[in-house]
Chain A
Amino acid sequence: MPDATGLELIAHDLGEQVPGSVTGTEHYRGIATLIVDPGRVVAALRWLRDTPNQAYAFLASLHGSDYLPESPRFGVHYELLNMDRVERLHVKALLEEPGDGELPELDSCVELFPTADFQERELYDMFGIRFRGHPDLRRILMPEEYEGWPQRRDFPVGGEPVLFTHNEHRTPRWYE
Chain B
Amino acid sequence: MEIVRGHAGGPEDFRVRQLRARDLLRGDLAGTDLEAHVEQSVLTTTFERAVNWARSNALWPATFGLACCAIEMMSIVTARYDSARFGAEVFRASPRQADMLILSGRVSIKMAPIIRRIYDQMLEPKWVIAMGACSSSAGVFNNYALVAGADKFLPVDVHVPGCPPRPESLIHGILKLQRKVQGEPDLGWRTRYEAEGTEEVGEPAVPHGA
Contact = CB atoms under 8 A, between A and B. Distances in A.
A156 interface: yes
A148 B138 CA distance: 20
A156 B109 contact: no
Contacts of B110: 141-143
Contacts of B148: 159-160
Contact of A155 (B137, B141, B144): B144
B145 A142 contact: yes
Interface residues of B, number: 11
A155 B109 CA distance: 17
Contacts of B144: 148, 150, 155-159
Contact of B142 (A143, A146, A155, A160): A160
Nearest to B142: A159
A86 interface: no
Given A159-B138, A160-B138, A143 B146 contact: no
Contacts of B109: 142-143, 146
A156 B145 CA distance: 11
A97 to B, nearest CB: 20
A162 B133 CA distance: 12
A142 to B, nearest CB: 7
B41 interface: no
Nearest to A157: B143
Given A142-B110, A143-B109, A143-B110, A162 B142 contact: yes
A141 to B, nearest CB: 8
Q: For the complex, would chain A's binding face be called helix, strand, loop or mixed by DSSP majority? A: loop
Contacts of A142: 109-110, 145
A4 B148 CA distance: 49
Interface string B139-181: 0011111101000000000000000000000000000000000
A4 to B, nearest CB: 39
A150 B145 contact: yes
A146 B145 CA distance: 10
Nearest to B139: A162
6 smallest A-B Cβ distances: which pairs?
A158-B144, A159-B142, A160-B148, A150-B144, A143-B110, A159-B143
Interface of B: 109-110, 137-138, 141-146, 148
28 contacts: A141-B110, A141-B145, A142-B110, A142-B145, A143-B109, A143-B110, A148-B144, A150-B144, A150-B145, A155-B144, A156-B144, A157-B144, A158-B142, A158-B143, A158-B144, A158-B145, A159-B138, A159-B141, A159-B142, A159-B143, A159-B144, A159-B148, A160-B137, A160-B138, A160-B142, A160-B148, A162-B137, A162-B142
Given A159-B141, A159-B144, A159-B146, 14 more contacts: A141-B145, A142-B109, A142-B110, A142-B145, A143-B110, A148-B144, A150-B144, A150-B145, A155-B144, A157-B143, A159-B138, A159-B148, A160-B137, A160-B142
